[in-house]
Amino acid sequence: MISMDCDILVIGGGILGFSSAYHLKSQNPDKRIIVIDKNSGPAQGNTAKSEGAFRNVFASETNFLLADSTIDWFNHLQSRMGYDLKLNYIGYLWLFSEAQRRRLTGVLDTMRMRGIELRTMGKEELRESIPDLIMDFQGDEEAEMMGLEPVEVGLFAPKCGSVDADAVCRAYEAEFLRLGGEVKYGTEARRLLVKPKEELGISGEPFIWQEKHVAGAETTKGVIEAGTTVVATGVWSEGLLNPIGLESMMRPKKRQLFVFKDPKLGGLMNIRGLSGEGALPLTILPTSGVYLKGEVTEGSIWLGCADNLGRKFSLEEDPQPEKEYYTNNIYHVLVKYLPCFADLRPMNMWAGQYAINSLDMTPVVSPSPGMIYVGAASGSGIMKSDAIGRIVSAEYAERKEAELFGGRKFRVADLGIATRNVEKETFII
């Protein structure tokens, strides 16, 4: 066991940890910054299990700013800095019933006024673009019994798509190391160190009258003392924050992805009139939270489901996919809208966990003495990662505003817990 010290300790080698570390190092080149992670490499937790989708379509202006600027950064990272992120603007396509469209009219108008590009597609245009799609269940008693909504309109957003989450995280890691940052894998943080700012050297410290701060972490490789500790451990944050009485504003929930590759699905990889990629946009069905996308890099279809009510909050160290969840649940909805999936079974599947912030579905960057907690991204950490990293760096520098990529400003305190000032996100998959 060894003891070391640094100016900034970042706990967590996923997308939010490395984005934070990179921006901290770029703004503080003379500081010693160490990233630790219990895994053997970057992005091996839930970052690696992400679908890698991104969108700038949010009802909340806060989430729009975080995502829109990060998407611009992804484009810069690939086109100007030479990192192959497998960035594809396949777009997002929401399929709505008439009742859903009417309920969302005000929200969509607000988003358009904000500058979000949205294209409304009627049934005929949808039929031409996606011939495999069934939009009307008239006479289908089973569909009516299931309560499936007919498709009346589509909403297509072009500044949305797919990125390789692992490649993005590795790009941040490479830039962080290039600037002189340090990474220690296979190093798990067991607990945060809480110490008095003025140590007396008396057994039992810190006492209640002493001013306390987080002073680093005890790890499996020894103690690392730090001037500032950044906790970016996603769904595992509670394990570090709860013992010292701090709030994480999140709870873990499992999400699953199923992958298909079959000649019957060829039409979904040759979509007309939407994106230049030709693949199925990330498409959200009107019923049951089922969504799917064409994965351009491998010619496959990825499918998931945002099952909220009925899916328990639970931390799983190694979450596993549930084959029956597809065969006994998702399948029956899917084949009604897309009969080309009939009798198909996934060729691959995996599960990860979202750090769900049920209060407002918006990330948290919250300071405490000696510490910055970043998390609660609710499944959208990748698509907001660059903005969040810049806000963490601004918080460290005690700046009131962070400058997001492209020059837009963001009030740092808005993502805090005690100083929170964000809108509740209502446009949720």
Conformational region of residue 301, where left means phi above 0, alpha means psi within -120 to 50, and beta covers everything else: beta
List the beta strands (DSSP E) in 306-344: none
- What pLDDT, on the 0 to 100 scale, is given for residue 347? 97
- Find, among 354, 382, 412, 396, the residue nearest to 171 by Cα: 382
CB burial of residue 91 (10 Å; 0-12, 13-18, 19+) = buried
List the beta strands (DSSP E) in 199-286: 212-219, 222-231, 251-260, 282-284
Separation of alpha carbons 232 and 373, rounded Å: 6
Separation of alpha carbons 377 and 385, rounded Å: 9
- What pLDDT, on the 0 to 100 scale, is given for residue 3? 63
The helix (run of H) or strand (run of E) holding residue 167 is helix 165-178
Task: Confirm if 104 and 96 have CB atoms less than 8 A apart.
Answer: yes
Specify the length of the chain in residues: 429
- What pLDDT, on the 0 to 100 scale, is given for residue 299? 94
Pick the CATH number of 2-53+166-250+359-415 from 1.10.10.10, 3.50.50.60, 3.40.50.300, 3.40.50.620: 3.50.50.60
pLDDT digits (tens, 9 = 90+) for 371-407: 999 999 999 999 999 999 999 999 999 999 999 999 9
Say which residue the tokens 């990474």 belong to: 183
Task: Confirm if 354 and 253 have CB atoms less than 8 A apart.
Answer: yes
Do 2-53+166-250+359-415 and 92-157+253-354 fold alike per CATH?
Answer: no
Q: What residues in the chain have per-residue pLDDT under 70?
A: 1-3
Q: Helix, strand, coil % (nearest 5) of the chain?
A: 30, 25, 45
What six digits make up the tokens of 387? 């903005």
- What pLDDT, on the 0 to 100 scale, is given for residue 422? 97
- The secondary structure of residue 39, as a DSSP letter, is S
Separation of alpha carbons 426 and 415, rounded Å: 17
Separation of alpha carbons 54 and 288, rounded Å: 21
- Half-sphere exposure of residue 118: CA atoms within 13 angstroms, side-chain side: 22
Number of neighbours of residue 365 by Cβ within 10 angstroms: 28
* Cβ neighbours of residue 263 closer than 8 Å, sequence gap 6 or more: none
- Find, among 308, 319, 291, the residue nearest to 235 by Cα: 319
- What pLDDT, on the 0 to 100 scale, is given for residue 200? 87
- Find, among 71, 115, 107, 170, the residue nearest to 380 by Cα: 71
Task: Confirm if 24 and 181 have CB atoms less than 8 A apart.
Answer: no
Number of neighbours of residue 142 by Cβ within 10 angstroms: 10
* Beta-ladder partners of 290: 305
- Half-sphere exposure of residue 114: CA atoms within 13 angstroms, side-chain side: 19
What six digits make up the tokens of 415? 């993502």
* CA-based radius of gyration for the chain: 23
Separation of alpha carbons 335 and 320, rounded Å: 24
What six digits make up the tokens of 396? 């460290």
CATH of domain 92-157+253-354: 3.30.9.10
* Cβ neighbours of residue 354 closer than 8 Å, sequence gap 6 or more: 46, 235, 252, 253, 255, 377, 378, 379
The pTM for the full model equals 0.96
List the beta strands (DSSP E) in 41-81: 53-54
Peptide bond connecting 363 to the previous residue in cis, omega within 30 degrees of 0: no
Phi, then psi, of 165 in degrees rounded to 5: -60, -40
Separation of alpha carbons 11 and 112, rounded Å: 38
- Find, among 382, 319, 313, 378, the residue nearest to 350 by Cα: 319
* Cβ neighbours of residue 353 closer than 8 Å, sequence gap 6 or more: 46, 49, 234, 235, 252, 253, 254, 255, 315, 316, 319
Domain ranges of the chain: 2-53+166-250+359-415, 92-157+253-354
- What pLDDT, on the 0 to 100 scale, is given for residue 78? 98
Give the chain's mean pLDDT: 95
